[in-house]
Chains A and B, each alone.
Chain A
């Protein structure tokens, strides 16, 4: 790693006008995705700037002090910080210019050379230009406003990720009597974490008839601590003048909160784990086309967005379940970005359609000459499901899936031998469906 400060001194100090740095590739965000992408760019001998708004690398991984990371990437079970540390060590050893405490506020991507304006207390305002940009900004948590929970607006309502940051990094305990909304993984992890720091977790409330987190987390974070999980329930009201005093919980009847069978839980804290939204404001302002199903960019088989030379990967592309998959996907984006610089582009691509019971499939294009991993999500809950891939309505591949549910991301690896016999036309379409 070249310390950004020395690079800065060499190129910018004492110069008149806007400080400008030039690279082959700019990676925005240094979480699991950005680190993996930057490393791959540098391995392919392209110059790379990695810009991170926080003062540390690793993104949200560093507050995920629980285990369960690294089983695929490193073939061993690691905590979030350990997973991040491996990535960071690799990036430090590589030829990547790292800018921490630096926020990209504007991206101009329409020209051949992309320009990013970066704000930093150390460097002032920098213009970083690059021939390719990899978007790796991650996602943000949905909040109370997004789920429109009525009631008063007291202190004590936190998103689960903010609470995780407060406890695990800052060392503060936000509350003692906790109710958690949403059974997403962060919510489940925080149920256990809050119990461990001495708080009483009274309940986890889930709007869906099934949990939205990984099964292992239901077992290890709720069942082991006898924390009740209410499925098909919502927090229908928050009460408390200055600080949360209680919440009203209602069962859902035909999708509507049933007031008559509602009950109250006394608590001082409400943690919200109600989904994540890819943070694509910068991408949208740059003109990147967004997929309404994922809230991430629409990308082709090389993870390239609707703007030539702009790539997207990780949770800013679509929300993943596992950091390992984020890193895997980002590595491919890094390699494809370098391929783009060298004019190595697919000879042909075909559209992939989300068929029956599939919410989305990523990427949205397929390169038959270079078949690659496809990530997708189911719309249904089912045991012993069948995955079917059709080429122009003709089945070309079938796979058994032991269990599918919307909250668990699925993937399929197509191999060159799968594609070998396909009769591909100019306007062929691949369709992925679940039965």
Chain B
């Protein structure tokens, strides 16, 4: 990610963590006359919790309003349509179905419905068996009824973060990647923040949106003690040609631990099944495991019997940064001055993210920071054309303007050279960065055909040595030597 030199940086607000929460907070603050910096320890933004999750904008019926997360979920959901118009990220309100497979489960559907109505979830509907099959013919024939929440939807979380960060940058926010906060001290009215690589910077206010590492960052700043418990979720991604693709997001009836294993038609046309839910200890353990993967297939088939393991194109896992009480912890620190905690942002964190941005903006003000609106704030980012979204006539016009749109580099996801070059120019200079920004390498061949082409484009566009081409950050170099 395009990274500003942090050495001489002195800002009003430093946000630690450039995931969904951090980026939405940064964009909100970019509307005011403030110097804001968004820090992340990874090579690109959205490479932590926000990279691997279900990508669902929830329907507002899963949680009771007594939870902060539920209130922010309801508010966040309503903010997405406008954000899509401003930020041009793929998003679809495809709706959510919760399927009950027996009468016992149907009782729980009653409860979810009542909760949804109390929460003000728009358009929520109790469904008979017939209605369920009208909405989703591929459902397990054992389904006895369920719940329909038409306000739910799908998006690609990282793609959303990229757009939000771009908008924040356009309005003056500095993004500093590869900046792992290891130490902080008070220097007068400010914090002096030190990175692992020796860089430092100063900030008057600090927002802790460090995801899995929010407990560690809180400790570094002398704020509250708490523990983030990573809960792993493993997924399978299915080929877009799978016969199992549903029209809407399919949920089972939730358990105490999680919302259960879903079948998700992603906004880009592939199908995601999962996640599992397993508490682990290591916050960097993103491994996948055979027993869990088998469980996903079993559970997904309970929703859609047509799910087939031959459709699997990849497996991955993500971690939920959970707190013991299960709720979000968003507040001004009672211990560290001018320090705001944004921790425990697990599901429905993606749905809530825009509302978290708003909420934290108000907390920053409450903490004493004066917010003066900028007249020139521009909420829009420029649209990036993608040939996969265009018909042949429109694509032809695009190629006439820039021939590189005619060169299809990633055949599976239909991504042109021009789109990859644009990603590189926007600072996505690793294979994963390019993959998450453009989708090149995300399809059925998983980069088998296009990786070397992207490596060549990276070398051509940036001039870096082949030895420095990384999958995702230092240590992940792809090539060892040359002939």
Chain A residues at the B interface, C-beta cutoff of 8 Å? 18-19, 53, 101, 103, 105-106, 117, 119-125, 127, 140-141, 143-146, 148, 150-156, 158-159, 161-162, 165-167, 169-176, 197-198, 236-237, 239, 241-243, 257, 268-269, 281, 284
One of B289, B406, B445, B447 near A121 (C-beta < 8 A)? B406
Q: Distance (Å) between the CB of B90 and the closest chain A CB?
A: 19
Chain B residues within 8 Å of A125, by CB: 392-393, 395-396, 399, 406
How many Å lie between the Cα of A143 and that of B309 in the bound state? 14
Kindly identify, within residues 108 to 127 of chain B, every residue whose CB is under 8 Å from any CB belonging to chain A. Answer: none
**A-B contacts besides A121-B417, A166-B479, A167-B483, 16 pairs, CB < 8 Å:** A106-B392, A120-B399, A124-B399, A124-B400, A143-B314, A144-B446, A148-B290, A156-B478, A172-B455, A172-B479, A173-B482, A174-B479, A241-B284, A242-B471, A243-B475, A243-B476
A243–B477 CB distance below 8 A: yes
B312–A162 CB distance below 8 A: no
One of B237, B399, B445 near A119 (C-beta < 8 A)? B399
How many Å lie between the Cα of A198 and that of B448 in the bound state? 23
B481–A150 CB distance below 8 A: no
B315–A148 CB distance below 8 A: yes
How many Å lie between the Cα of A393 and that of B75 in the bound state? 71
Chain A residues within 8 Å of B452, by CB: 162, 165-166, 169-170
Nearest A residue to B387, CB-CB: A119
Chain B residues within 8 Å of A105, by CB: 392, 408, 414
B interface bracket (residues with beta carbon within 8 Å of A): 35 or more
- B353-395: contact bitstring with A at CB < 8 Å (1 yes, 0 no)? 0000000000000000000000000000000000100001101
Chain A residues within 8 Å of B137, by CB: none
A121–B404 CB distance below 8 A: yes
Q: Distance (Å) between the CB of B465 and the closest chain A CB?
A: 11
A-B contacts, 16 listed (Cβ < 8 Å): A18-B396, A101-B407, A103-B411, A119-B406, A124-B396, A125-B396, A143-B445, A148-B290, A150-B293, A162-B452, A171-B482, A172-B455, A172-B466, A173-B481, A173-B482, A281-B444
How many Å lie between the Cα of A206 and that of B315 in the bound state? 21
Kindly identify, within residues 436 to 465 of chain B, every residue whose CB is under 8 Å from any CB belonging to chain A. Answer: 444-449, 451-452, 455-456
Kindly identify, within residues 249 to 306 of chain B, every residue whose CB is under 8 Å from any CB belonging to chain A. Answer: 284, 286-290, 293
A155–B478 CB distance below 8 A: yes
Nearest B residue to A295, CB-CB: B310
Q: Distance (Å) between the CB of B328 and the closest chain A CB?
A: 28
B480–A143 CB distance below 8 A: no
Chain B residues within 8 Å of A166, by CB: 452, 479
One of A123, A162, A169, A175 near B448 (C-beta < 8 A)? A162
Q: Distance (Å) between the CB of A169 and the closest chain B CB?
A: 8
How many Å lie between the Cα of A281 and that of B309 in the bound state? 18
Q: Distance (Å) between the CB of A29 and the closest chain B CB?
A: 12
Assuming A172-B483, A173-B481, is B395 touching A152 (CB within 8 A)? no
How many Å lie between the Cα of A146 and that of B451 in the bound state? 18
Chain A residues within 8 Å of B456, by CB: 170
A151–B406 CB distance below 8 A: no
B446–A143 CB distance below 8 A: yes
Assuming A103-B411, A165-B452, is B290 touching A150 (CB within 8 A)? yes
Chain A residues within 8 Å of B483, by CB: 167, 171-173, 197
How many Å lie between the Cα of A306 and that of B338 in the bound state? 70
Nearest B residue to A137, CB-CB: B411
Nearest B residue to A237, CB-CB: B287
Most buried by B among A103, A156, A161: A103
A148–B312 CB distance below 8 A: yes
Chain B residues within 8 Å of A123, by CB: 406
One of B387, B411, B472 near A53 (C-beta < 8 A)? B411
Q: Distance (Å) between the CB of B473 and the closest chain A CB?
A: 7
Indicate whether B403 reaches chain A with its CB closer than 8 angstroms. Answer: yes
Assuming A121-B399, A125-B392, A173-B480, is B474 touching A242 (CB within 8 A)? yes
How many Å lie between the Cα of A124 and that of B387 in the bound state? 12
Q: Distance (Å) between the CB of A87 and the closest chain B CB?
A: 21
The 8 nearest A-B residue pairs measured at CB: A242-B475, A145-B314, A155-B471, A125-B396, A121-B406, A103-B408, A242-B476, A173-B481
Nearest B residue to A269, CB-CB: B480
B313–A145 CB distance below 8 A: yes
Indicate whether B28 reaches chain A with its CB closer than 8 angstroms. Answer: no
Q: Distance (Å) between the CB of B62 and the closest chain A CB?
A: 29
Q: Distance (Å) between the CB of B282 and the closest chain A CB?
A: 10
Indicate whether B429 reaches chain A with its CB closer than 8 angstroms. Answer: no
B481–A172 CB distance below 8 A: yes
Chain B residues within 8 Å of A146, by CB: 312-313
Q: Distance (Å) between the CB of B412 and the closest chain A CB?
A: 8
Chain B residues within 8 Å of A198, by CB: 481
Chain A residues within 8 Å of B416, by CB: 119
How many Å lie between the Cα of A216 and that of B30 in the bound state? 66
- B153-171: contact bitstring with A at CB < 8 Å (1 yes, 0 no)? 0000000000000000000
Q: Distance (Å) between the CB of B353 and the closest chain A CB?
A: 25
Indicate whether B470 reaches chain A with its CB closer than 8 angstroms. Answer: yes
Chain A residues within 8 Å of B309, by CB: 148
Indicate whether B316 reaches chain A with its CB closer than 8 angstroms. Answer: yes
Chain A residues within 8 Å of B68, by CB: none
Chain A residues within 8 Å of B196, by CB: none
A143–B479 CB distance below 8 A: no
Nearest B residue to A19, CB-CB: B396
B406–A150 CB distance below 8 A: no
Chain B residues within 8 Å of A173, by CB: 479-483
Q: Distance (Å) between the CB of A145 and the closest chain B CB?
A: 3
B476–A155 CB distance below 8 A: yes
How many Å lie between the Cα of A175 and that of B479 in the bound state? 6
How many Å lie between the Cα of A268 and that of B476 in the bound state? 11
Indicate whether B241 reaches chain A with its CB closer than 8 angstroms. Answer: yes
B288–A151 CB distance below 8 A: yes
How many Å lie between the Cα of A228 and that of B412 in the bound state? 35
Q: Distance (Å) between the CB of A26 and the closest chain B CB?
A: 16
How many Å lie between the Cα of A15 and that of B456 in the bound state? 35
Nearest B residue to A174, CB-CB: B479
Q: Distance (Å) between the CB of B467 and the closest chain A CB?
A: 9
Assuming A121-B407, A172-B483, is B477 touching A155 (CB within 8 A)? yes
A18–B393 CB distance below 8 A: yes
Nearest B residue to A154, CB-CB: B476
Q: Distance (Å) between the CB of B369 and the closest chain A CB?
A: 38
One of A151, A154, A156, A172 near B482 (C-beta < 8 A)? A172
Chain B residues within 8 Å of A121, by CB: 399, 403-407, 417
Chain A residues within 8 Å of B288, by CB: 150-151, 153
A151–B287 CB distance below 8 A: yes
How many Å lie between the Cα of A101 and that of B480 in the bound state? 29
Chain B residues within 8 Å of A143, by CB: 313-314, 445-446, 448
How many Å lie between the Cα of A144 and that of B396 in the bound state? 36
A150–B287 CB distance below 8 A: yes
How many Å lie between the Cα of A140 and that of B483 in the bound state? 26
Chain A residues within 8 Å of B289, by CB: 150
Nearest B residue to A147, CB-CB: B312
B414–A145 CB distance below 8 A: no
Nearest A residue to B471, CB-CB: A155
Nearest A residue to B390, CB-CB: A125
B403–A122 CB distance below 8 A: yes
Chain A residues within 8 Å of B470, by CB: 155
Assuming A125-B399, A152-B286, is B478 touching A174 (CB within 8 A)? yes
B449–A140 CB distance below 8 A: yes
One of B445, B475, B482 near A140 (C-beta < 8 A)? B445
How many Å lie between the Cα of A273 and that of B478 in the bound state? 19
How many Å lie between the Cα of A175 and that of B477 in the bound state? 10
Chain A residues within 8 Å of B404, by CB: 121
B237–A145 CB distance below 8 A: yes
A144–B403 CB distance below 8 A: no
How many Å lie between the Cα of A159 and that of B452 in the bound state? 12
Q: Distance (Å) between the CB of A101 and the closest chain B CB?
A: 7
Chain A residues within 8 Å of B392, by CB: 18, 105-106, 117, 125, 127
